[in-house]
A and B are shown apart, each in its own frame.
Chain A
Amino acid sequence: MTTTQQPGAPEDPVYKNGLKDARFGMIFWAIATFFVCGCAYFLGYQRPGQKLTSADIQPIFGIPKWFFISVVVPWVVCSVVCVVYAGFIMTDDDLGRDHTDELEQEIREGADIHELS
């Protein structure tokens, strides 16, 4: 076994799939953040040009309408997406061999080759 991989060698699947999960997670977070905050601001915030009173509560199952649309519905949708992503889309990968013993050996042998950077 060699100690280095040549450039252009096959890409590590864990890295590739990990990056896919990270992209998904951050985009998902961004969509949720802007949808929820945007909806809440336009439907449920007191702001110039929008004075809300108790007549605007318009409860759905007792929950103010703006809150139901901006928080409860997205929460349920996000939960479904999380479960579907983790359950069916996210891949299973082999995380590889655990090098704990090798690091221990390295420390034990005082073979720490790293210099203070």
Chain B
Amino acid sequence: MNSPEPVQAELATFLALVLFMVISLGLGVVANMVGRVKTGFLKSYFLGNRSLGAFAVALTAAVMSGGTFMGFPSLVYKFGWVVGLWICSYMVIPVTVLGVLGKRIGQLARRTGAITLPDFFRERFESPLLGLITSLLVLFFLTSNLIAQFKAGGLILKLVLPQSVHQVIGTNEPPKSADEKIGAMAAASSDEPVAKPVETKKSTANTFRDRAYVLGLVIFSVTVIFYTAYGGFLAAIWTDVFQSLVMAVGVMILFPLAMNAAGGINAGTLAGIAQTGDDSFAFGPGASRNFHPISLALSFFVMWAISAMGQPSTIVRLMAFRDTKTLRWSIIYLTLYNLVIYVPLIFIFICARQILPNLTRTDEVMPRLVITLANPYVAGLILAAPFGAVMSTVSGWLLIISSGLVRDLYQRFVNPHASEKQIERASYMGTVFVGVLVCILALNPPEYLQLIVVFSSSGMAASFLAPAAYGAFWRRANGLGMIASMVTGAGVTLALYAVGMVWASDGYDSGIGAGGLFAPYYLLGYDPCVWGISLSFLAGAVVTLLTPAPREEHVERMFGLDTPLPGLAKA
């Protein structure tokens, strides 16, 4: 496959990455200027002054991550049509993720004055301990994820660094062909479990002794830390919107090209059946493997449409949207976005079977197809989109962590009397501090990190969804119940993943799902997210009912008509 196209696309991808970084830096500077106009530094810096517009909410709340954008095509190519069923709960996501809790979280965030997720739970349930546990869980999940994302960013940059740079810094690696680089880039940016073992093997080779990786990591870190620290929440949101739009444009360009090149979708289906030798390429549960039994199909409706409601990044966006009109429009935009992006993506990568037959490393199907079909510069831009997604994910998470440090640690414990100026300085420094720390850890990430990374989105949903839902709608819910709910949710999910991975390392394969070293234990055939979320709701309800009811006055403040805080009526 060493055609001339990869070489041209390599240069174009490098240019597109540089373009992405420059645009992000620019957005950071603009966001800083916009943020300065407003009053109240923390609210402006960490929540965009609660004034996010519909487009920003829609395109950042529940859109596929860069990793999924790379990993999903690989699954379609490998297992066939059933992967459409795997992703199709995106059809209801706008209403579940934005509609179910949106209004009430938006209202409660204003009513409690909460700026961070721990703030929100602490004030809603009058429980500092709940706030503390939220902080610790967020720190645990997001820091590990951040390290992994920084590593992905560093690896991608390393791969696209021009050969002259490699010579200057004196790397001892033999130069990779453009073709090899594309494969490695796909593996680096994919976050699908199937792709993980590939990445893990690679990770052992990428330690702090690898100068090109260190250089890539430093360039990535400096860029992201700078625009995030300087521009705050708005910078993170805007870069996210930008990369979502690039992905959308990419899909719309690819769709007609793929249909045309394959000679129709059915040609792709028949090619898939011929190549896998399995009629199930066109049906459930998938070609060559019991990939998606019906229990997992049900699980993935929970996995995408329900789990997404409990992610900290989602809840924070629900605390930040401008008004209910914005919320309604964001549901409409997200519905249309999902319809025109995900449905064609399925068709495109079924067609890929006809265009690029018999790929052995299926996680390369996305970059290879792009390079085969599109003009090199368009291809470069599409290939850079997942890198943009890594950047925007990182900046969003960095801010969630640093907001916790500034609000829940510095302001509440260290210096409650901090002036606006001191808080401002602490916020910039907090973001830079977290970024630098993660960068240092990413120089040589510990192996067990992968465990936390693969189970973290299920784990976060199982921790935070039930307290958020009870907080929004159940008057009787109390702090102790919510502590039980969080601990149970996180614990159950972690246990199921840990058991699955220990067994997988002994060579056990449940036969369902994508398989691999990081497969969880599917109790009764259902994904751990189903168990984690259900048991978290159950534990929350049981412990709440066994412990004293919350203060009636506080409940009224959360559920009744709006009133000022006690003793602050004059303010």
Contacts and interface: CB of A to CB of B under 8 A. Distances in A.
B507 interface: no
A11 B154 CA distance: 53
Given A3-B563, A96-B562, A100-B115, A29 B324 contact: no
B22 interface: no
Interface in B358-373: none
A96 B128 CA distance: 25
Contacts of B92: 25, 28-29, 32-33, 78, 82
Given A41-B294, A56-B283, A85-B95, A92 B110 contact: no
Interface in B101-147: 101-104, 106-107, 110-115, 119, 122-123, 125-130
B95 A25 contact: yes
A36 B305 contact: no
A12 B561 contact: yes
Contact of A9 (B327, B416, B560, B567): B560
B339 interface: yes
B265 A63 contact: yes
Q: Which of B113, B279, B565, B566 has the most CB of A within 10 A?
A: B113
A78 B305 CA distance: 13
A37 B301 contact: yes
A56 B411 CA distance: 65
Contacts of A62: 264-267, 269, 347
Nearest to A51: B279
Interface residues of B, number: 99
Interface in B246-267: 264-267
Nearest to A87: B332
B81 A29 contact: no
Q: Which of B92, B264, B473, B562 has the most CB of A within 10 A?
A: B92
Interface size class of A (residues with CB under 8 A): 35 or more
B166 interface: no
A17 B324 CA distance: 11
Contact of B412 (A36, A78, A92, A107): A107
Given A18-B107, A87-B332, A107-B416, A102 B339 contact: no
Contacts of B445: none
B517 to A, nearest CB: 27
B43 A117 contact: no
B84 interface: yes
A14 B560 contact: no
B283 A98 contact: no
B329 interface: yes
Given A54-B282, A92-B328, A96-B107, A83 B335 contact: yes
A33 B89 contact: yes
Nearest to B475: A15
Contact of B328 (A40, A63, A78, A87): A87
Given A3-B564, A102-B571, A90 B279 contact: no
Q: Please classify the interface of chain A as helix (H, G, I), strand (E, B), loop, or mixed, using the class held by over half of its residues.
A: helix
A90 B328 contact: yes
A97 to B, nearest CB: 6
Contacts of B478: 117
Given A37-B301, A107-B411, A28 B561 contact: no
Contacts of B294: 37, 40-41, 45
A117 B128 contact: yes
Contact of B325 (A57, A72, A92, A97): A92
A72 B559 CA distance: 40
B104 A18 contact: yes
B328 A22 contact: no
Contacts of A12: 559-562
Interface in B164-212: none
Contacts of A21: 99-100, 102-103
A89 to B, nearest CB: 10
B427 interface: no
A90 B284 CA distance: 36
A99 B266 contact: no
Nearest to B547: A117
A97 B269 contact: no
9 contacts: A12-B559, A22-B104, A44-B283, A52-B280, A67-B81, A95-B110, A103-B112, A108-B417, A112-B128
Q: 9 shortest A-B CB distances, which residue pairs?
A: A103-B113, A62-B265, A5-B560, A86-B331, A99-B113, A45-B284, A25-B100, A18-B104, A18-B103
Interface of B: 40, 42-43, 50, 81-82, 84-85, 88-89, 91-92, 94-96, 99-104, 106-107, 110-115, 119, 122-123, 125-130, 264-267, 269-270, 273, 279-280, 282-285, 294, 297-298, 301, 305-306, 323-325, 327-329, 331-332, 335-336, 338-339, 343, 347, 411-412, 416-418, 469, 472-473, 478-480, 483, 552-553, 556-557, 559-569, 571
Given A26-B96, A33-B89, A45-B294, 9 more contacts: A4-B552, A29-B95, A29-B306, A74-B91, A86-B332, A95-B107, A114-B122, A115-B128, A117-B478
